[in-house]
Amino acid sequence: MRSTQARHEEYFSFLRSVSLLKELPEEKLARIVDCLEVDYFDKGEYIICEGEEGNTFFIIAKGEVSVTRTTEGFSEPQEIKTLGVGDYFGEKALISEDVRSANIIAKEDDTQCLVVDRDNFNQMVGTYEELQAYLREYVEQLSLSDERRNAA
């Protein structure tokens, strides 16, 4: 059995490598590690379903996921992109206070995600204006590209 200490150090250094979090001070990052949950998904499993309510933010620690979304003119949701280790998702529902705007589907067995709940997400970004501004801008861009895709 791996010690709590070892687990803590492992996730701490992993989170430090995530570009979004690289500026966070040590104690902030350590707090996030304390509050993390790890979720495991098999290939084809839905991590997020479009249209559902969501209160969590995810960081991929292992594996790959596919992002798909309902698109005008297609009967099936269309793949927008794939994300891998160190990428994150689920920020949009939290920031826009809206339902999930896309599906996230595991592409591999034993895909692992670090899960941060809304309160801890708010604590994480809330005190950092740059981080907040960055994510808000990004989320706005996502809405625009969603519209563009549907108009195409």
Residue ranges in contact with ligand WNU by CB under 6 A: 48, 54, 67, 69, 80-81, 83, 88-93, 100-102, 104, 135, 138, 142, 145-146
Amino acid making up residue 24: L
Q: What is the largest CA-CA distance in the chain?
A: 53
Q: Could you tell me the smallest distance in angstroms from the CB atom of residue 65 to ligand WNU?
A: 9
For 102, half-sphere exposure in the C-beta direction (CA atoms, 13 angstrom radius) is 24
Q: Which is nearer to ligand WNU, 54 or 63 (CB)?
A: 54
Q: Which is nearer to ligand WNU, 52 or 109 (CB)?
A: 52
Q: Could you tell me the smallest distance in angstroms from the CB atom of residue 58 to ligand WNU?
A: 8
Q: Which is nearer to ligand WNU, 29 or 135 (CB)?
A: 135
Q: Which is nearer to ligand WNU, 96 or 123 (CB)?
A: 96
Which 8-state DSSP code applies to residue 5? Answer: H
Q: Which helix (H) or strand (E) holds 6?
A: helix 4-17
Q: Could you tell me the smallest distance in angstroms from the CB atom of residue 71 to ligand WNU?
A: 10
- Residue in this structure with the two tokens 């379903």, named with its chain if needed: 49
Q: Could you tell me the smallest distance in angstroms from the CB atom of residue 28 to ligand WNU?
A: 19
- Decide: 57 and 15 in contact? Cβ < 8 Å: no
The number of beta carbons lying within 10 Å of the beta carbon of residue 83 is: 19
